[in-house]
């Protein structure tokens, strides 16, 4: 694959813009300035191929898999209505290559958010048929009690739904801290479930999807690439 196409697939603009990046001396390979956009990189070398644009190092990735620690006050939309988009937190090449949220979090909900430009990956972790558990930590307005926990475990009927929805698990961590795991991703689901059980969510934080937990060293508002080990954990129930 030639350098121009590599830059194009990695989100650095149109083919013409990518040629201009090289012509303007903004692209380096292994620390050396590259002025030939037609230079070819062997297919078997792409997996480990690194390049620099304006001094920042990038590695070629056929598909993008990211984790973001979402802060409050951001919408999971490219066309936000009332707050900044979470895409403001990502480098431009990632948004240009078309990464999308793997399920949305409300603007006031924080924590684990996956993003990818791999449609099959997005579908696998958003389709209710796949039954991937998502674990949340909810801070409630009122103290939790056994009746509320039992209702969540046994199923609560939400407005507009024909069948009760039960949590995979509902555990009390503190007087007003609830650990809740659900399979579905319905609109405001956790907040609505807690309300149907007789309480109210004041804060909501997603901690885990499948077997993958939000990394402890990932600060709020920061992102990183998912590696093979992360992807393996995600697929664990």
Q: Is 106 part of the annotated catalytic residue set?
A: yes
Q: Determine contact, residues 194/201, Cβ cutoff 8 Å.
A: yes
Q: How many CB atoms lie within 10 A of CB 88?
A: 12
Q: Using only the alpha carbons of the chain, give its radius of gyration.
A: 21
Residue 184 class from Cβ within 10 Å (0-12 exposed, 13-18 middle, 19+ buried)? exposed
Contact 190, 182 (CB under 8 A): yes
Of 237, 84, 216, residue with least CA distance to 169: 237
- Torsion sign across C-alpha atoms 204, 103, 74, 86: positive
Which among 2, 106, 118, 145 is annotated as catalytic? 106
Gap between the terminal Cα atoms of the chain: 37
Residue 188 forms beta bridges with which residues?
none
84, β-bridge pairs? 74
CB 225 within 8 A of CB 65: yes
Q: How far apart are CA 138 and CA 15, in angstroms?
A: 46
Residues with a catalytic annotation lie at 106
């Amino acid at each position: 694959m030639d350098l121009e196409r590599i830059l194009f697939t990695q989100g650095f603009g149109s083919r013409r813009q990518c040629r201009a990046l090289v012509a303007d001396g903004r692209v380096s390979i292994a620390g050396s300035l590259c002025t030939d956009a037609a230079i070819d990189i062997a297919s078997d070398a792409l997996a480990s191929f690194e390049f620099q644009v304006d001094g920042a190092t990038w590695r070629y990735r056929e598909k993008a898999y990211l984790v973001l620690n979402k802060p409050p006050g951001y919408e999971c939309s490219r066309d936000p209505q009332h707050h900044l988009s979470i895409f403001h937190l990502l480098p431009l090449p990632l948004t240009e290559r078309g990464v999308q949220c793997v399920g949305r979090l409300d603007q006031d909900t924080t924590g684990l958010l996956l993003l990818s430009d791999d449609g099959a990956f997005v579908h696998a972790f958003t389709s209710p048929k796949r039954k991937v558990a998502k674990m949340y930590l909810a801070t409630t307005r009122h103290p939790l009690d056994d009746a509320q926990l039992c209702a969540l475990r046994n199923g609560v009927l939400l407005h507009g739904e024909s069948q009760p929805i039960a949590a995979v698990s509902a555990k009390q961590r503190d007087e007003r801290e609830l650990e809740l795991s659900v399979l579905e991703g319905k609109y405001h689901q956790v907040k609505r479930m807690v309300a149907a059980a007789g309480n109210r969510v004041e804060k909501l934080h997603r901690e885990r999807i499948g077997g993958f937990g939000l990394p402890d060293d990932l600060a709020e508002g920061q992102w990183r690439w998912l590696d093979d080990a992360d992807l393996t954990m995600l697929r664990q129930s």
